[in-house]
A = this chain, B = another copy of it.
Amino acid sequence: MKRALLASTSTLHEQDYLEYLLPEIKSFFKDSKEVIFIPFARPGGITHDEYTEKAAVAFKKAGIKLRGLHEFKDMQTAIASAKGIFTGGGNTFLLVSELYRNKLMAGLQQAVKNGVPYMGTSAGTNIAGLTMQTTNDMPIVYPPSFKTLGIVPFNINPHYLDPDKNSTHKGETRETRIKEFHKINTQPVVGLREGSWLLVENNKIALKGELSARIFKLEKVPFEIETGSELNELAEA
């Protein structure tokens, strides 16, 4: 049975890294002696070691040991025998490229199917969707495919931002970008605001945190769902 904790962001304004998620992390990984950290998204270009250290410091506060996937000689075996997995945020194109380059995407997918708890923040949450095609990131590297883990039967837009009605900027709003996505793709998109997360367990996908989420379905007017709601029925008919 799949278990996943998929957060829009790692960090809230004026908080430490993962601070608001610590109680959730503690309960989510309560049976995981050690969690494997996937540092490939490298936010701001930080090294794998630096990023792992940062995540390990936060996880230590929740009493959980973290180890960087890049430290393993055989990363495929490390994923196959993992007791818990956390993929940090950063650049989604880089993350997806590295997962494919190291032949880890299928193994990661299988591990989650086998019930290994998977946590993601930002880019790590984006790849839990069917494809990475609703990322906000720059295409700094060319991945072999946009297909991702499909832990949930829809796409996720992390760091979802409502249109700023006072803005004079003419770049596309997030809503316009997702509308363009739906001219070519059919799957629903969950706009997950900072402070929200999805909790996947017991065959249910629930919205958690204080905020509502914005749902974009093909040829439908976008709508809000309240925290606590289940998103299972979002999957395509």
Q: A222 in the interface, Cβ–Cβ < 8 Å?
A: no
Chain A, interface SS category: loop
- Contact bitstring A141-172, B, C-beta under 8 A = 1, else 0: 11001100000000000110100000011111
**Is A91 part of the binding interface, using a Cβ–Cβ cutoff of 8 Å?**
yes
Cα–Cα, bound, A215→B181 (Å): 30
Q: Size of chain A's interface in residues, with CB distance under 8 A?
A: 46
- Which residues of chain B are within 8 angstroms of A168 by Cβ–Cβ distance? 13-14
Chain B residues within 8 Å of A139, by CB: 93, 132-133, 135, 139, 146
B137 with A170: CB separation less than 8 A = no
* B178 near A94: Cβ-Cβ < 8 Å: no
Whether A170 lies near B180 (C-beta < 8 A) is no
**So how many copies of this chain end up in the complex?**
2
Contact with A180, one of B90, B133, B158, B178 (Cβ below 8 angstroms): B90
- 26 residue pairs A–B, Cβ–Cβ below 8 Å: A9-B170, A9-B171, A11-B170, A42-B180, A43-B176, A44-B172, A45-B183, A90-B180, A91-B177, A93-B139, A133-B140, A133-B141, A136-B171, A138-B180, A140-B180, A140-B181, A140-B183, A140-B184, A140-B185, A142-B146, A158-B171, A159-B169, A159-B170, A159-B171, A161-B171, A171-B194
